[in-house]
Structure 1
Amino acid sequence: MEYDAVILAGGRSSRLGGVPKSQLTVDGATLLERSLQAARGARRTVVVGPDRGGLPPGVLGCREDPPFSGPAAAIAAGLSALAVDTAAAPTPLTLVLACDMPRVVAAVGALLDAMATGADGRDGAVAVSADGRKQPLVGLYGTAALRHAVADAARHNALEGGSVFALLASLELCTVPVPPGSTDDVDTWDDASALGVSVPGPVRGDEFDIGGKR
């Protein structure tokens, strides 16, 4: 199954005091590295967010415009970067993945299995957490359908600050239950502590309160 991957790594991390989620670590790997590992089967991968350097060879980087304009705009930027990279034709599917879920590799595996066995005729698959919530930033979407949705949102000026649920509303998606904990994300220092996530280098999580302020 061929797919490209768009990894979103450009949020403000306001509840973490501005510490970039992509640079948080668990078991010696950053959350971005873990996301790249989850997307390792992709033919091409683009990371949407600030240029912090250190991307693996072959991984593209870009930024949503304007910066911090939200995940819908970031998805659009990632698709544009893949379209500009004309070294290969578009793949039938695009994996969309936020970079703040340390255990997401299991969720991606479930999505790939679902698309391989039972999603024919639909526009992709979206992860559903153990408590029944759809997780649109863990999804495997038909590339053509996703591009159409982005183009429609752009025509209505609905990308900047737009809802990802609204962006995907026109897509017919199958819902895929994923392993418990595989879509747990890091929004606060309490989340980080519960998931075994820490801050590398001289900045420590205990320098911030859970509201993200020094």
Structure 2
Amino acid sequence: MQDPLPHFDALILAGGRSSRLGGVPKQHLLFRGATLLERSLDAASGARRTVVVGPDPGRLPETVLSCREQPEFSGPAAAIAAGLEVLSRGGGEAEYTLVLACDMPLVADAVVRLSSALSAEPADGPGKPDVVMAATDDGTPHGRAQPLAGFYRTAGLKNAVEDLAARGALINGSVRSLLASLDVQLVTVPAAATADVDTWDDAAALGIAAGHQDDDQGRRSRS
């Protein structure tokens, strides 16, 4: 029998410039009747607390927090640092933090597999990984890792953030720069589970619509 999944918080990154989408915010794109941010929140629904890091998240559930990295648009490492700071206030910190980008509409499938892998880990066994991260099979020995779909041990992630900040490398730092000191376990997931939206071609391939205004109208008509 698998151990139950440890308590975790969730940190959803929604703060990029969307430059290859002409500045259209990814989090408001529509997929199967829901915005990409809503789908990310659903994927993280088992979290104790959730924070969305980025501009204009729109109306969020009352239990979901929001913040912005400083300075704005200073990269995912800075955004993770901002989210961790918010999550650490009031109520302590969970053992793990689920880190997700908001632009993977089918990431819930990856979260299920990551959750199963994490639950299967012995509670205090030697060599327990700092990160359980999604990867797709691209023919290479370890596959293509997706650091923005993973469960991070919170203490280790905070230490990595502090180390990066101490070296003056947090601002405009990448997520991969946080991984240098962390032990990572890759979990193979279907390629579609981490397919992300960087361009309009990506959006078209996934059947995603640029319908924020239409979505607002639809919500009003249903209310």
Identify whether the pair has TM-score above 0.5, normalized to the shorter chain: yes
Call closer, same or farther: CA 1:180–1:148 in 2, change over 3 Å. Answer: same
Equivalent position to 1:23, from 25, 28, 31:
28
1:44-59 matches, within 5 Å, as 44-59=49-64
Partner SS state of residue 187, structure 2: strand
Residue in structure 2 matched with residue 212 of structure 1 by the alignment: none
Q: Give, in whole Å, the separation in 1 of the partners of 2:92 and 2:79.
A: 21
Offset at residue 35 of structure 1 (A): 0.2
Q: Gapped runs of 5+ residues in structure 1?
A: 204-214
> Which residue of the other structure, out of 90, 94, 100, is the alignment partner of 1:97?
100
- Deviation string, structure 1 residues 5-29 (Cα, Å, up to 9, x no partner): 0000000000000000000001110
Given the alignment, which residue of 87, 101, 104 partners 1:82?
87
Letter in 2 for 1:21: K
Written as runs of structure 1 = structure 2, the 5 A alignment for 1:102-141 is 102-118=105-121, 120=125, 121-131=128-138, 132-141=143-152
Q: Is the Cα–Cα contact under 8 Å of residues 130 and 181 in structure 1 kept in the other structure? A: no
Shift of 1:202: 5.2
Q: Secondary structure at the match of 1:40?
A: coil
- Residue identity matched to 1:106: D
Inter-partner Cα distance in structure 1 for 2:137 and 2:60: 32
3-state DSSP of counterpart to 1:67: coil
Q: CA RMSD in A?
A: 1.3
CA distance in 1, matches of 2:92, 2:207: 39
Structure 2 matches for 1:192-203, cutoff 5 A? 192-201=203-212
Aligned residue for 1:194, secondary structure, equals helix
Runs of 4+ off more than 6 Å: none
The two structures have a TM-score, normalised by structure 2, of 0.87
Measured in 2, the distance between the counterparts of 1:76 and 1:189 equals 29
Q: Does 1:61 align with 2:66?
A: yes
1:100: Cα distance to partner? Answer: 0.1
1:173 is displaced (CA, Å) by 1.3
1:38-81 per-residue CA deviation (whole Å, 9 max, x = no partner) reads 00000000000013430111100000001101111100000011
TM-score (norm 1): 0.91
Query: Which letter does structure 1 place at the counterpart of 2:195?
Result: D
Aligned partner of residue 193 in structure 2, secondary structure: coil
Equivalent residue for 1:210? none
